[in-house]
Structure 1
Amino acid sequence: MGSKWRKMKLALGLNLCTYLPRTLEEPPAVCLNSAERLSDVALLSPANWPMTPTPSSYGLRLSRSSSKSSKTCSICLTKMREGEGHAIFTAECSHSFHFQCIASNVKHGNHVCPVCRAKWKEIPMQHPMLDLSYLSERHHNDAAMNLARSLPPPRRVMSRGHGPQIQASEPATFNDDERLDQQPMIAGKSSSNNDALDNNHPVRMVDMKVYPEVSAVPRAKSFEKFDVLVHLKAAAMVTGQAVSQNNQVSQYPRASVDLVTVLDISGSMAGTKLALLKRAMGFVIQNLGSNDRLSVIAFSSTARRLFPLTRMSDTGRQQALQAVNSLVANGGTNIAEGLRKGAKVMEDRRHKNPVSSIILLSDGRDTYTMNQPDPNYKLLLPLSVHSKRFQIPVHSFGFGSDHDASLMHSVSEFSGGTFSFIESEAVIQDALAQCIGGLLSVAVQELRLEIDVVWPDVRLGSIKAGSYSSLINGDGRSGSIDVGDLYAEEERDFLVSINIPAEKAGIDTPLLALRCVYKDPLSKETATLESDVLKIQRPEKVGEEVVSIEVDKQRNRFLAAEAMAKARTLAERGDLTTAISVLEDSRRVLSETVAAKSRDRFCVALDTELKEMQERMMSRHVYEASGRAYILSGLSSHSWQRATARGDSIDGSILVQSYQTPLMAEMLRRSQAMFLGSPSNHRLIQPLLSLASQPQPKPR
């Protein structure tokens, strides 16, 4: 089913690329089977797609008659009713909108109907400083449009009790974030859920298990590199069913989120890319809780904040949807400025939710900052984002074949976030949904694993922790790993290597004592979990001892990640042949391990992933188009042990599922159901599934 679903989305994504919005003055484009093209607004909300399939194709047709008769505002997606205090604007093309919504839409340069793309002579204006109606007759004139876009955009702020208002320009300090609710623990739509804390919130938030390489070592034998696996798992958010009957993930106790999305709206995003990005942001906005706060930064040649950190109440959602839908693609790509402004929103805020994160989405390369041959990507991030005192993870999403995967991976790596590669733009929403599912389920914060040696002659040799910061004290008697946040039911595995001395007598040797210290994001209290002392049996003789599958599996993960990193370095130098050989050698070594011979699913998936990387290095063109991004997304996932989007799918890989939490999977299912559940799409599902079942060329 997963494979068919990926093919169906790919087929749909390729189809959408042929239906781009156009203005009336543009000549009709040649479309497949003469189907009409979709508007940005239609793509933003699948639930409002009034589409019917043509008899001769799988294309999607926008029904103008049904759009005109709709009583739903196509911008904020809410019902329009007279007499409820909302002015309604009816355009000359007969489409109607809330006046507030359409005024917000046209102020950013949109002078055509969002539904039918008809050019308007009369444009609703809400602010005298931005009366650009004199440009409507010169809409085709590039110079005039550039002048319009160069004006400072108005800024929306929240006024308590009076809804969104307009200001002329951005403030010097972004300390205008909306005040938090008095009861921020519950991020759902109602504060009545506070009673659930006492009943549903687990007391023990982390489970810890320790696996020695083997259970017994001969008394007279010593080991220089004896591996011990430490396995951590965060508790579930609630006991029982995680999702309520009204299908709201945010209805149970969880930590609220401050989220800043940094969106690329450069010229290369025009058309379907921007439309799909708007639809994905619509999904994010609808799934944030009333105590979660969102701010959106849009960047092209410069960057601007669309609105301050705002609670996603009903009013906040409407404001956010209006702002996102008003975006227009134009200009160059200044990722550094977008990140700087996104970090400033976090730095200047007066109030803070327990969880903070930045999401970066781009399809291009920074054309303003990173032009030197050997760029220092760390310069893209303000110090506050990657400092220990104020670290804000940046989860970056690069899509298409032209994005700078090295830049985006580095940005995420420095900040403690993940990098996802979206090969097919049709799955942008799914990739964001999976990420949001994690951010909305943080169960543990500031987790730190502390390791102490018990036996006098035992010393710590090394700690394999991937991208997590680890430390071994000078005497080798203690060490630590800074793990940070864990999502609900998320797991972490670390390999600790020690020496085991020979013994003259004794039944067992005590090795390590482990301790977890973490903060509960709901209660703000610090908790400590201590394990039993790990002991190894020391008999006179030991029969044939098989290495622990769990330990061997994690060894294979680190070996594969090392091979990926080495192959990537060789490929960047132009030596693709040697890079492929490194991956092939790694596959051969892994195939001889205990875990692989037992047909462990994770090890089988590792081999499949390494093989895929070999194929994406078959030529320089293929590597530049997708190989580099595929490898970097894999490295990001393995080093942080967190699910990322890879290639043209995010739901079919065993490796992705290995790191995917139940609530990430639930949010992904919701994203897919949002498409499949659209009433107008039911008639399209079977033809698309039939198309998906046919062999498809693999995109490169």
Structure 2
Amino acid sequence: KQTTDITRKILHNKLFAFENMSNLNPTNNNINSDDFVHIMDVEKTPHPALQVKLTPRHDEIGLLSEKKETVQICTTVKASNLSDENSSRAPVDIVIVLDVSGSMQGEKLNLCKKTLELLLRELRHEDRFGLVSFADQAVLEIPTRKLTESNKQAALSKIKNIRTRGCTNLSGGIGMGAQEMRAVETPNAVRTIFVLTDGHANQGISDPEGILAITAGCLSAKPGNETPITIHTFGYGTDHDHKLLQDISKTTEGGTYYFVDSDSNVASAFGDALGGVFSVVAQNAVLNISVPPGSRLTSVHHDKKSNQVGESCKVNLGDFYAEESRDVLFEVTLAPGSNVDSSNVPVPHAYVGLSYLDTIGIKLVDAESVSACISRPNSTVLSPPNPHVVVQWLRVQATAGMAEADRLSRQGNLEAARAKITSLLSQLRDESAGAGIESDPLIVQLISDLNEVMSGLRDTRTYETYGCYVSSAKHQTHTYQRCADADFSSTNVYRSSTKSRMARKLNQFLD
């Protein structure tokens, strides 16, 4: 679909304001997103990239039932599928920031170079590709440019000649990668940076706070940029700074951290990430939750929520890959008896609106608000809990428990961390069995992942060489409901068909 010239100009010159609807740039909170939507050429669409559904935990709650105060409601945002492999995807700009320090010598670097060659072959002529290597210094190996056949062949030749050298100047690599991305005057709809390293920053700015400040400063939304930049990090082996790499990925909406624990998973990790980049259907997705008079929003279980004011709350969901779903749980007070119609018509308890940039249709979308209604008969009836809401509530509790266990582990209290995971496992088994959802794929994966986290808490050495990486990766996966698994053969309920196909494809070429 094509937009008018006016809409294209608006998107090019004004989109940075839309990006500031997110909570990532607290210095730019003076933009009212509701006012902004009204001045844009916003479209309603019969075939939206994203669809919203609201599900109360209970459909029917009698005025005389045991449940008197609040009820959980789950917002589910589902992304559409791409029409077919690769043909309808948005063009991408991708810059690779590759560690070529001495520790990458041998098979590690060879596999990375082969993976980059495969990645290049998957890119189309309208895509852009750039490569920065870093050791003692950052070096621009391949300027970011569109992949004409001659540019692609030149890039392939350059990759073959990359050699290891020196130490690990991570900040220099990220800074140069961001500079290359910013230098593109008319960027593509999707822009991303891949950072791969196997060690700790020991050259240039090496303290985590400084590196994070540089990353956030380089990649934050700036006037005139058409689309946001995401950063994906790949930690190679068991001697990298997993917390730093995960925090780097969090500086941008939609960034992910991959724990690449073996040589054989390098290609599939890149493939999984590339499959996501190739299937972006929406960006800058923002939920607007509100409640009717007489109700109050009491809590929102999401780390990208705005400050709650009791009546409304915004939640930044970032970008969506095709087929992805995100769930945001929140709680509202039950409508009082004075607000209930004697005819027992379901009563609205919450409204949710959604705005986003459709990257395929190249347009802003302001979706119609949907409501969550609950019947409030004058009786003791309480309908059974909705299975999907129960599953998502268990996911939220599991991710919070993983974070607490990891905090205890980093403090050296492995015994308390193990006790926390044991308690979580018991809770998941008991509550899922009670609700008849013990065979739900997400419950099965949560239990499997918690057991894997537990195996990494055996002792201090196990935690430092394995457990800390697993814990970070599993927590991120379930918090953001996005696959970031380097092993394409593993079972992951969040892995889309595009991610699976690309991870498998790149991995098979290296077999």
Q: TM-score range by the shorter chain?
A: 0.7 to 0.9
| Cross-structure match for 2:63 | 219
User: In the superposition, relative to structure 1, how do residues 261 and 605 fare at CA in structure 2: closer, same or farther (>3 Å)?
Assistant: same
SS at match of 2:229: coil
1:608 correspondence with 2:448: yes
CA contact (8 A) 1:360 1:394 kept: yes
In structure 1, how many angstroms separate the alpha carbons of the residues matched to 2:244 and 2:283? Answer: 27
Give how far 1:348 is off: 2.4
Share of identical aligned residues, percent? 26
| Cross-structure match for 2:42 | none
Residue identity matched to 1:569: R
1:302 correspondence with 2:129: no
| Cross-structure match for 1:630 | 470
In structure 2, how many angstroms separate the alpha carbons of the residues matched to 1:377 and 1:551? Answer: 39
CA contact (8 A) 1:343 1:382 kept: no
In structure 2, how many angstroms separate the alpha carbons of the residues matched to 1:457 and 1:228? Answer: 17
CA contact (8 A) 1:380 1:411 kept: no
SS at match of 1:554: helix
1:584 correspondence with 2:422: yes
| Cross-structure match for 1:400 | 237
CA contact (8 A) 1:224 1:500 kept: yes
In structure 2, how many angstroms separate the alpha carbons of the residues matched to 1:203 and 1:562? Answer: 35
User: In the superposition, relative to structure 1, how do residues 279 and 299 fare at CA in structure 2: closer, same or farther (>3 Å)?
Assistant: same
Give how far 1:669 is off: 2.6
| Cross-structure match for 1:593 | 431
Deviation string for 1:162-214 (max 9, x for gaps)?
xxxxxxxxxxxxxxxxxxxxxxxxxxxxxxxxxxxxxxx98322122111011
User: In the superposition, relative to structure 1, how do residues 639 and 457 fare at CA in structure 2: closer, same or farther (>3 Å)?
Assistant: same
Corresponding residue to 1:413 among 234, 245, 250: 250
Deviation string for 1:570-615 (max 9, x for gaps)?
1111111111111111111111214674221211211111111111
- Mapping 1:563-582, distance limit 5 Å: 563-582=401-420
| Cross-structure match for 1:534 | 372
Give how far 1:524 is off: 2.6
SS at match of 1:673: helix
SS at match of 1:415: coil
| Cross-structure match for 1:263 | 98
SS at match of 1:471: coil
1:321 correspondence with 2:156: yes
SS at match of 2:69: strand
| Cross-structure match for 2:123 | 288
In structure 1, how many angstroms separate the alpha carbons of the residues matched to 2:481 and 2:215? Answer: 23
| Cross-structure match for 2:294 | 457
| Cross-structure match for 2:324 | 490
1:385 correspondence with 2:219: yes
Corresponding residue to 2:348 among 488, 510, 534: 510
In structure 2, how many angstroms separate the alpha carbons of the residues matched to 1:218 and 1:530? Answer: 29
Q: Which has the larger radius of gyration?
A: 1
In structure 2, how many angstroms separate the alpha carbons of the residues matched to 1:378 and 1:264? Answer: 17
Give how far 1:320 is off: 1.4
Residue identity matched to 1:218: G
Deviation string for 1:661-690 (max 9, x for gaps)?
1111121232243245xxxxxxxxxxxxxx
Give how far 1:329 is off: 1.0
User: In the superposition, relative to structure 1, how do residues 385 and 470 fare at CA in structure 2: closer, same or farther (>3 Å)?
Assistant: same
In structure 2, how many angstroms separate the alpha carbons of the residues matched to 1:522 and 1:555? Answer: 32
In structure 1, how many angstroms separate the alpha carbons of the residues matched to 2:205 and 2:420? Answer: 30
Long gaps (5+) in structure 2: 1-44
In structure 1, how many angstroms separate the alpha carbons of the residues matched to 2:139 and 2:510? Answer: 31
CA contact (8 A) 1:394 1:412 kept: yes
| Cross-structure match for 2:37 | none
Corresponding residue to 1:209 among 53, 65, 68: 53
SS at match of 1:526: strand
Residue identity matched to 2:235: G
CA contact (8 A) 2:432 2:443 kept: no
CA contact (8 A) 1:644 1:650 kept: no
CA contact (8 A) 1:354 1:521 kept: yes
In structure 2, how many angstroms separate the alpha carbons of the residues matched to 1:660 and 1:429? Answer: 16
Residue identity matched to 2:140: R
Give how far 1:405 is off: 0.5
| Cross-structure match for 1:561 | 399
Deviation string for 1:87-129 (max 9, x for gaps)?
xxxxxxxxxxxxxxxxxxxxxxxxxxxxxxxxxxxxxxxxxxx
In structure 2, how many angstroms separate the alpha carbons of the residues matched to 1:421 and 1:473? Answer: 34
SS at match of 2:466: helix
CA contact (8 A) 2:301 2:329 kept: yes
User: In the superposition, relative to structure 1, how do residues 667 and 367 fare at CA in structure 2: closer, same or farther (>3 Å)?
Assistant: same
SS at match of 1:433: helix
In structure 1, how many angstroms separate the alpha carbons of the residues matched to 2:189 and 2:97? Answer: 20
CA contact (8 A) 2:265 2:507 kept: no
- Structure 1 residue ranges, 4+ long, deviating more than 3 angstroms after superposition: 220-225, 369-372, 374-377, 386-391, 594-597
Residue identity matched to 2:81: A
In structure 1, how many angstroms separate the alpha carbons of the residues matched to 2:197 and 2:144? Answer: 21
In structure 2, how many angstroms separate the alpha carbons of the residues matched to 1:218 and 1:401? Answer: 55
| Cross-structure match for 2:271 | 433
In structure 1, how many angstroms separate the alpha carbons of the residues matched to 2:158 and 2:500? Answer: 29
In structure 2, how many angstroms separate the alpha carbons of the residues matched to 1:572 and 1:347? Answer: 37
Corresponding residue to 1:520 among 328, 344, 358: 358
SS at match of 2:250: helix
- Mapping 1:111-150, distance limit 5 Å: none
Residue identity matched to 2:79: A
In structure 2, how many angstroms separate the alpha carbons of the residues matched to 1:572 and 1:675? Answer: 36
Q: Using structure 1 for the length normalisation, give the TM-score.
A: 0.62
Long gaps (5+) in structure 1: 1-200, 244-249, 677-700
In structure 2, how many angstroms separate the alpha carbons of the residues matched to 1:553 and 1:284? Answer: 37
CA contact (8 A) 1:231 1:494 kept: yes
Give how far 1:368 is off: 2.1
In structure 1, how many angstroms separate the alpha carbons of the residues matched to 2:202 and 2:53? Answer: 48
Residue identity matched to 2:334: I
| Cross-structure match for 2:109 | 274
Aligned residues between the structures: 456
Deviation string for 1:615-674 (max 9, x for gaps)?
11111111111111111111221222211025xx24312xx2x11111111212322432
SS at match of 1:592: helix
Q: Using structure 2 for the length normalisation, give the TM-score.
A: 0.85
Residue identity matched to 1:486: F
Deviation string for 1:296-352 (max 9, x for gaps)?
010011101112112123222211111111110121111111001111112222221
CA contact (8 A) 1:220 1:502 kept: no
Of stretches 606-615 and 527-536 in structure 1, the one that deviates more from structure 2 is 527-536
1:352 correspondence with 2:167: no
1:643 correspondence with 2:488: no
| Cross-structure match for 1:499 | 333
| Cross-structure match for 2:31 | none
Residue identity matched to 1:603: I
In structure 1, how many angstroms separate the alpha carbons of the residues matched to 2:272 and 2:296? Answer: 41
| Cross-structure match for 1:545 | 383
Corresponding residue to 1:444 among 282, 289, 292: 282
Residue identity matched to 1:440: F
User: In the superposition, relative to structure 1, how do residues 458 and 289 fare at CA in structure 2: closer, same or farther (>3 Å)?
Assistant: same
User: In the superposition, relative to structure 1, how do residues 627 and 310 fare at CA in structure 2: closer, same or farther (>3 Å)?
Assistant: same
CA contact (8 A) 2:61 2:381 kept: no
In structure 1, how many angstroms separate the alpha carbons of the residues matched to 2:222 and 2:75? Answer: 24
In structure 2, how many angstroms separate the alpha carbons of the residues matched to 1:325 and 1:224? Answer: 65
CA contact (8 A) 2:190 2:229 kept: no
